[in-house]
């Protein structure tokens, strides 16, 4: 039971770290634009965010190296707020989700070790992560609902995150931010692999759930192709995604905060993962994004260059529209570039 003992010790250290967060933070955490090199996880994260032309930047992010006191584990998350208080909601989710996930995962692993033993534990790692993510998301959304500091009735946030542990990666997505993998193809060129689904209201499964709950999904004439969620009896709130934290005015009408959780085994060909908000993906294709990152000579500047390219694309492709907030995390999966 050495693994169980180690996990319980890690849990104790995590709790102690939380108590003196300012003096002795648990692991290394980056909550702003910049870079973070993970010696234990063998990764390098480049982060950049730029305010758009609509007011306050409602995007935020976090990179947590040494997640759960595990040297080989890194957590990355990007959050895109919307509505009047969306910038507060996105920061609240950013600050709550990683620790909530970690607590539930450690509890799940400890319980599974006691029930199934060490040998079977490795076979159910993804199931434990998925269960932990679902429980953590539900807890964070309920915490927001009960909060007296935040009004999240008509405001909310997306949440896209990954946990990389060794050569495994778990991806969880709520909303319409997107994760894209840059991997080397057979001919040596860089290829894009989309890892998540953009949860827009017009997706058949999403629309069916919303309509079944008496919500409505349609476009306005002045926004052709932009499907939004509306209340049964009035033209509000016009939410452009089907999953989000907050937005309690439509939670009874089919909008949910449950993430889609998937996994991927990292190979030697996989070079980096891009996590970006819809401000980037609205004007930059998956293929363009991975090429921009791959062509950036200094990895530390990859996210900044991607965001800058997105801003220029907004002004070129969407003339007359206000540039949206644009944010990205580029997580390089190996310290040295692949040849």
pLDDT, tens digit, for every residue of 135-148?
Answer: 999 999 999 999 98
Q: Is residue 41 domain-resident?
A: no
pLDDT category of residue 20 using cuts at 50, 70 and 90: very low
Domains held by the chain: number: 1
- End-to-end, the C-alpha distance of the chain in Å comes to 41
Helices 86-121 and 125-146, interaxial angle, to 10°? 150
Query: CA 58, CA 272: separation in Å to the nearest integer?
Result: 25
Phi and psi, residue 34, nearest 5°: 155, -160
Q: What is the pTM of this model?
A: 0.90
Q: Is residue 121 domain-resident?
A: yes
* pLDDT exceeds 90 at position 117: no
Domain range for residue 194?
A: 58-315+325-331
CATH of the domain at 88: 3.60.40.10
Q: Is 334 helix (H, G, I), strand (E, B) or coil?
A: coil
Q: Is residue 199 domain-resident?
A: yes
**What are the distances in angstroms from CA 89 to CA 59, 78, 117, 144?**
10, 13, 40, 8
State both tokens at 160. Answer: 């896209």
Query: CA 25, CA 33: separation in Å to the nearest integer?
Result: 19
* pLDDT exceeds 50 at position 3: no
Q: Is residue 49 domain-resident?
A: no
**What are the distances in angstroms from CA 328 to CA 107, 126, 158, 275?**
31, 26, 14, 6
Could you read off the pLDDT of 254-272 as tens digits, one per residue? 999 999 999 999 999 999 9
Burial category of 253 from C-beta neighbours within 10 Å (exposed 0-12, middle 13-18, buried 19 and up): buried
Residues 261, 170 contacting (CB under 8 angstroms): yes
Q: Is residue 176 domain-resident?
A: yes
Q: Is residue 38 domain-resident?
A: no
**What are the distances in angstroms from CA 325 to CA 89, 111, 144, 181, 214?**
15, 42, 23, 22, 32
* pLDDT exceeds 90 at position 9: no
Rg for the chain, CA atoms, rounded: 20
* pLDDT exceeds 90 at position 212: yes
Q: Could you say which DSSP state residue 248 is in?
A: G
Q: Is residue 40 domain-resident?
A: no
State both tokens at 91. Answer: 């920061």
Phi and psi, residue 199, nearest 5°: -80, 80
Query: CA 193, CA 199: separation in Å to the nearest integer?
Result: 17
Q: Is residue 14 domain-resident?
A: no
Phi and psi, residue 174, nearest 5°: -125, 110
């Amino acid at each position: 039971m050495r693994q169980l003992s180690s996990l319980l010790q890690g849990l104790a250290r995590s709790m102690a770290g939380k108590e003196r967060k300012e003096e002795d933070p648990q692991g290394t955490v980056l909550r702003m634009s910049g870079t973070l090199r993970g010696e234990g996880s063998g990764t390098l994260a480049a982060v950049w965010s730029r305010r758009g032309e609509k007011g306050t930047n409602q995007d935020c992010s976090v990179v947590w190296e040494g997640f759960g006191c595990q040297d080989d584990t890194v957590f990355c998350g990007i959050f895109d707020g919307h509505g009047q208080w969306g910038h507060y909601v996105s920061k609240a989710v950013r600050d709550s989700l990683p620790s909530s996930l970690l607590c539930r995962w450690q509890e799940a692993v400890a319980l599974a070790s006691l029930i199934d033993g060490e040998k079977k534990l490795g076979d159910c790692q993804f199931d434990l992560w998925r269960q932990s993510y679902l429980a953590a998301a539900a807890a964070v959304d309920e915490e927001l609902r009960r909060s007296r500091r935040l009004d999240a009735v008509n405001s909310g946030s997306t949440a896209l995150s990954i946990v990389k542990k060794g050569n495994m990666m778990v991806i969880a997505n709520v909303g319409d931010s997107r994760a894209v993998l840059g991997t080397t193809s057979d001919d040596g060129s860089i290829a894009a692999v989309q890892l998540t689904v953009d949860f827009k209201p017009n997706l058949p499964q999403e629309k069916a759930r919303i309509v079944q709950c008496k919500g409505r999904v349609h476009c306005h004439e002045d926004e052709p192709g932009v499907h939004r969620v509306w209340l049964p009896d009035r033209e509000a709130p016009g939410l452009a995604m089907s999953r989000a934290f907050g937005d309690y005015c439509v939670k009874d009408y089919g909008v949910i905060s449950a993430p889609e959780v998937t996994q991927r085994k990292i190979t030697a060909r996989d070079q980096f993962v891009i996590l970006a908000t819809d401000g980037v993906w609205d004007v930059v294709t998956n293929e363009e994004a991975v090429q921009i990152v791959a062509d950036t000579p200094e990895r530390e500047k990859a996210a900044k260059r991607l965001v800058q390219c997105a801003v220029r694309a907004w002004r070129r492709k969407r003339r007359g529209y206000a540039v949206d907030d644009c944010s990205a995390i580029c997580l390089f999966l190996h310290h040295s570039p692949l040849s």
